[in-house]
Chains A and B, each alone.
Chain A
């Protein structure tokens, strides 16, 4: 149904008078709009904060499915609570930012599910004095999560547009201890090596041996394995203190399948 619109009256006003009245009308409207936007934005931020709380509570601290092990490190949980995940996703996916799902960010890349990010961070056992290296910046979300947990985060992205966007985003959001480099991460960041924590999100078919070399004794490296939307295994590499050959790899499943396979453990 359409309402009849009143015909617009055109008075014989002069131009300056018109401009003036224009200003008189428009200026307060603009102010009002701006105030509303600010309020709304704050309201939005508040909503997002609540959704983050909810995300941490239901997806990470006590995951809904018995197969996934809870992440208990309070520092990791706090980082997940503080980091505005919605600022790392494409505009049209903002409403989905806190859902229990990976999100596409273009160029065949994704932001992992919140639980996977938390789990990987947890596996790295980051400490305040640590220095972290990330291969495959993507949106920058993993680096942002690591940022409050370590001294410095060095992150390398091979896909130029993604790297540039992540660098700008992290700068806008005020992350001071993250250094983004655009280039091939295969040979790590030798100038800043060794690292206590390394995340390799872009391992195609092997873990680059130079990265293993740049891992500090006692350091930890995590590699998610699977396709972009489905992490199947988290490979955890730990370097012992007994020399360069003292390395252990653990294939961890983000989901425990133990009750499924082959009956009771013998």
Chain B
């Protein structure tokens, strides 16, 4: 491995790791939605670097640069890697000074300026790194497949490294290591410059000094992630005597525990809760600085926890007329343990507490062991560190109550590319699995916050109803929805509710001013007595959802929010936005629609639009530069831009590859989040695995070329292979993986890698195309680099929108189509560019 290659490897790793860290930092300080918006612009640095490279290309005059040996450019490579290493820590520190607050963006025009500052500050390091990588690839386009292999392998290692680092350290110190990678790359590039003049040596020394200085400064004063004042944690810290009593960090999120006598967590507590039902002393639990429940003081005496019975979450325990023998409860997303306490209060013999975040469990077992009454180590309480859906799906047990209260599974926010809010807990298949794991007479209870106009609860109702129907059960007798002004709890049973159960529930709810929004045999108006709505959407929705296919369809079509049940193929429970409703909303309520809009979706659209517009600009820019050069009197035939047809082919080829690669990546991450049952593993394994595997593919292609294969043919077959694999995965991957869910994690990881292995071919068409282009139309290389960079960014949000609208299979099919187009273009590559294909003879 040469120094330049090693530098490329390190820079590639640093860029990807930095990206992962940025998403993490944004998730803590702000909303992660904005992370994608900002980072997608930063990543357009890859597109923008194409313009710079075209500019550099323009300055070159020596004809030798036009031939295959395009080795030079070491100076620019060293410069851009050094710039990257220097700017990376500075840009992160500066970003933490920007007083951006997403909440204010509608009201305060300055916020747009702050957002622009974010773009600018974070753009620079990506631009520098992209320039370095682009230079390495196009200046030696003959060796492109091998170099691209290093680039991909480096990125893959960066993804794995970032997740690994975050396991042991919070974002701020972990960034130091990422900076170290970048500096390593820069040093290698600088050493590669020799022989240097005296001035050159001074410059190198200054660069090294600056890097060392920055590292020391960072070590002494690491810049902390700036918390928005509107985050739950910021609010809690304003409370009297508030202080953070523990903080843990992992790739899943940062967990903060706050103590203050004013912290009281009892979501939707009944207005009639008696004085003894006031929550006892609690510690606030914050995940990524957002409120995430509480740890309740417990001394083994559950009679002191009366408040738990005054929330709708307790409904399942009052819906049984006969207390079952040896009550067994499964609490999904156990967190601070409120669900476990509730189960113990109702005499559960066995509680299975499922929690994904080891830090939360660890805190309750260690730092707050006494405070929580060693809740997670009590006899009868079993803690499972697992993802809830996969746990139930694979569990060999059955329960009387499966409790899923106010939990949203952690989005795969760790690497940003994965999280669009896919969630396998609230799908139709998930409900089927829950119901299959109930003992006779058992209940599934799902609690969510109430929103007006209602959304979550109604979609839950529709999802549960669809699951029951698929199991051949009549939903109307098996569902109950209880709501307070703040929360709603849906109860689902496999058997019909008995009259005695219903009577008990009704009594219990009325005592607490909870409405029975849906009840088998509910009288008109009965579900809207205590928490009165001007219009009883619940009754209307229940009647429509249970009223047969035609009525249900009509309701789904007409409701202002998207309520069709989420499925494993379209696991977007939180996708409520409907374009159809937007004009109506604007016409009726104008600016007042703002609080009701589904922001996540609109931000996604905004991200796509800005990326597409800027991307188009950045693709046009290098072409303009190159054309101007062609017009500046250089009439050598190779200096003239190729015809429109040829340019279109180049454009389509690199566009298709940019889109296709990211489509496959995004779809696989989302599929494997479910299969690996852990967003962190899924992102790490898929991102690192796919990049490494395709990097190996590139290297393999380089070997094939040395052995005399035609580049065009290899590219064509590789693209065909990817297209076929993606198409096959679109139809068969989920079905093939679901039966293997019960396998141990290591085996599942092996399966995941096996799934990715055929995709090694994804690493071939791009570098082979670059190499081919370098031989025939070298002046277009920067342009191709820009096209690919921009397409990758656009693809990220586009894939998400396609998945939301048409499902993951559609994303994979789109990827297959992209690679199909690339294969076609590669096949007839030489003919169209009117150049004979040169093949290297075997050495």
Contact = CB atoms under 8 A, between A and B. Distances in A.
Interface in B228-267: 229-231, 234-235, 238-240, 261-262, 264-267
A258 B229 CA distance: 34
Interface stretch (A4-12, A42-50, A60-68): A60-68
Interface string B529-555: 011111101001100100000000001
Contact of B535 (A103, A204, A247, A265): A265
B408 interface: no
A262 B265 contact: no
Nearest to A65: B590
Interface string A188-223: 000000000000000011111110100000000000
B588 A228 contact: no
Contacts of A248: 530, 532
A261 B530 contact: no
Contacts of B593: 255
B18 to A, nearest CB: 30
Interface in B65-112: 101, 103-104, 106-107
A159 B584 CA distance: 41
A100 B591 contact: yes
Interface in A211-253: 212, 225-233, 235, 237, 244-245, 247-253
B496 interface: no
Contact of A205 (B231, B266, B273): B266
Nearest to B596: A232
Nearest to A221: B271
A228 B230 CA distance: 8
A262 B555 contact: yes
B533 A255 contact: no
B262 A184 contact: yes
A204 B595 CA distance: 18
Nearest to A259: B588
Contact of A247 (B103, B238, B271, B278): B271
Interface stretch (A79-87, A104-112, A123-131, A137-145): A104-112
B632 interface: no
Nearest to A206: B269
Contact of B273 (A183, A209, A245, A258): A209
Contact of A249 (B103, B267, B530): B530
A67 B268 contact: no
Nearest to B235: A108
Interface in B263-303: 264-275, 277-278, 291
A183 to B, nearest CB: 7
Contacts of A252: 534
A232 B596 CA distance: 7
Nearest to B273: A209
B238 A107 contact: yes
A102 interface: yes
A19 B398 CA distance: 96
Nearest to B284: A204
A266 interface: yes
Contacts of B239: 158-159
A119 B540 CA distance: 28
A230 B594 contact: yes
A101 B530 CA distance: 32
Given A159-B238, A186-B262, A262 B592 contact: no
B269 A251 contact: no
B703 interface: no
B488 to A, nearest CB: 12
Nearest to B294: A205
B452 A247 contact: no
Given A183-B240, A232-B596, A64 B590 contact: yes
Contacts of B6: none
B616 interface: no
Interface string B577-611: 00001001100111111111000000000000000
A257 interface: yes
B486 interface: yes
Interface of A is mostly: loop
Contacts of A258: 534-535
Contacts of A207: 269, 271, 485
Given A206-B266, A232-B451, A212 B272 contact: yes
Nearest to A265: B535
B268 A205 contact: yes
Nearest to B544: A262
B588 A65 contact: yes
A28 interface: no
Contacts of A168: none
Given A184-B262, A232-B596, A257 B589 contact: yes
A247 B272 contact: yes
Interface string B648-659: 000000000000
B238 A108 contact: yes
A31 interface: no
Interface residues of B, number: 63
A251 B532 contact: yes
A205 B592 contact: no
B568 to A, nearest CB: 28
B531 A249 contact: yes
A244 B89 CA distance: 61
Contacts of A257: 452-453, 560, 588-589, 596
Contact of B588 (A208, A212, A260): A260
Nearest to A237: B271
Given A65-B589, A183-B240, A186-B264, A205 B596 contact: no
Nearest to B543: A266
Q: Among the interface residues B261, B273, B452, which one has the most CB atoms of the partner chain A within 10 A?
A: B452
Contacts of A206: 264, 266-269, 486
Nearest to A103: B107
Contacts of A210: 275, 278
A160 B240 contact: yes
Nearest to B511: A245
Contacts of A205: 265-269, 291, 486
B559 interface: yes
A255 B592 contact: yes
Contacts of B531: 249-251
B835 interface: no
A231 B592 CA distance: 10
B537 A262 contact: yes
A228 B103 contact: yes
B749 interface: no
Given A253-B452, A257-B589, A231 B595 contact: yes
Interface in B794-835: none
Contact of B271 (A65, A107, A158, A212): A212
Contacts of B275: 209-210
B406 to A, nearest CB: 10
Contacts of B485: 207, 225, 235, 249, 251
A255 B589 contact: yes
Contact of B537 (A68, A244, A254, A261): A261
A263 interface: yes
A204 B591 CA distance: 26
B391 to A, nearest CB: 27
6 contacts: A107-B229, A206-B266, A232-B451, A250-B532, A261-B560, A262-B544
Given A65-B592, A104-B101, A249-B485, 19 more contacts: A67-B590, A103-B107, A108-B229, A108-B231, A158-B238, A158-B239, A159-B239, A184-B262, A204-B291, A206-B264, A210-B278, A226-B595, A235-B485, A244-B272, A249-B532, A250-B533, A255-B593, A255-B595, A260-B581
Interface of B: 101, 103-104, 106-107, 229-231, 234-235, 238-240, 261-262, 264-275, 277-278, 291, 450-453, 485-486, 513, 530-535, 537, 540-541, 544, 555, 558-560, 581, 584-585, 588-596
Interface of A: 64-68, 100-104, 106-108, 158-160, 183-184, 186, 204-210, 212, 225-233, 235, 237, 244-245, 247-263, 265-266
Q: Which 9 A-B pairs have the closest CB atoms?
A: A67-B589, A230-B595, A206-B269, A65-B590, A108-B229, A255-B592, A260-B560, A205-B267, A209-B273
